[in-house]
């Protein structure tokens, strides 16, 4: 079992586009430190390569409670509010596979909801307006990022499918040629054996 600790500390800390190879019949866990309750924690992952592009996962809080889990999932993307400060655990399990390793891309984000005070000489309405614009931009950027990840994952899976199909076609062609050669040799042997038998009968 492999364990990696990733400490994400501050107002907003992002682990962007990390890729990890989970060996067959093994698992890997990553840890994130949440400093305050009510912090927003987002978790995204996608299986980029290996087997049927699926893996088991779980998210556990500092008290040992399982917040999210899934089996044979290709990807997941969700956000939750941390109710307890401390170390949160994110695990991937590839116990289902005895041969195929899985390449997983994932991202963990911790964002503190604590808001800065209103600047001097800035009205409350202006502050709310600016805050709303920033939140809107952040939401749209998040949507664009998720779309990019979605298309990247689809492209990776389609490429793997094409490569797998090419490999199968190649070996099928080799097998077909081998069968044809074997049948030809068998026919030659049968004909030769038939004529040898005919000559012995005639004598």
Per-residue pLDDT at 125: 65
What's the mean pLDDT in 18-39? 92
> pLDDT of 97-132, one tens digit each?
888 899 999 999 888 755 444 455 556 666 667 777
Q: In this predicted structure, what is the pLDDT of residue 119?
A: 52
Q: Which is it for the CA torsion 83, 84, 88, 93, positive or negative?
A: negative
Superfamily of structural domain 2-114: GOLD domain (2.60.120.680)
Q: What is the pLDDT of residue 20?
A: 93
Provide the pLDDT for residue 13. 46
Tell me, what's the pLDDT at 134?
81
Write down the pLDDT at residue 127.
Answer: 64
Question: Would you list the DSSP string of 26-38?
Answer: -EEEEEEEE-STT
Question: What is the pLDDT, as a whole number, of residue 112?
Answer: 72
pLDDT above 50 for 29:
yes
What's the pLDDT score for residue 122? 53
Per the DSSP assignment, residues forming a β-bridge with 77 are 44
Over pLDDT 90: what percentage of the chain?
A: 33
Question: CB within 8 A of 149, min separation 6: which ones?
Answer: 44, 46, 105
Split at pLDDT 50, 70, 90, the class of 25 is very high
How distant, in Å, are the alpha carbons of 64, 82, 123, 173 from that of 38? 18, 5, 27, 60
Average the pLDDT over 89-96 and give the result.
94
- Which pLDDT band, with edges at 50, 70 and 90, does 159 fall under? confident
């Amino acid at each position: 079992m492999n364990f990696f600790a990733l400490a994400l500390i501050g107002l907003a800390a992002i682990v962007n586009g990390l890729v990890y190879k989970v060996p067959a019949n093994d698992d890997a866990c990553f840890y994130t430190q949440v400093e305050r309750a009510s912090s927003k924690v987002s978790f995204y992952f996608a299986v980029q390569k290996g087997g049927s592009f699926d893996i088991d996962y779980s998210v556990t809080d500092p008290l040992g409670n399982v917040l999210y889990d899934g089996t044979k999932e290709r990807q997941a993307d969700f956000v939750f509010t941390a109710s307890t400060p401390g170390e949160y655990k994110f695990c991937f399990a590839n116990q289902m596979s005895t041969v195929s390793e899985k390449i997983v891309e994932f991202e963990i984000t911790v964002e503190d909801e604590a808001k800065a005070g209103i600047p001097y000489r800035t009205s409350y309405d202006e502050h709310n307006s600016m805050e709303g614009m920033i939140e809107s931009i952040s939401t749209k950027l998040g949507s664009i990022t998720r779309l990019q990840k979605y298309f990247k994952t689809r492209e990776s899976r389609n490429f793997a499918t094409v490569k797998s199909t090419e490999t199968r076609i190649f070996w099928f062609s080799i097998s077909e040629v081998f069968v044809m050669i074997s049948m030809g040799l068998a026919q030659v042997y049968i004909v030769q054996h038939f004529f040898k038998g005919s000559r012995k009968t005639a004598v």
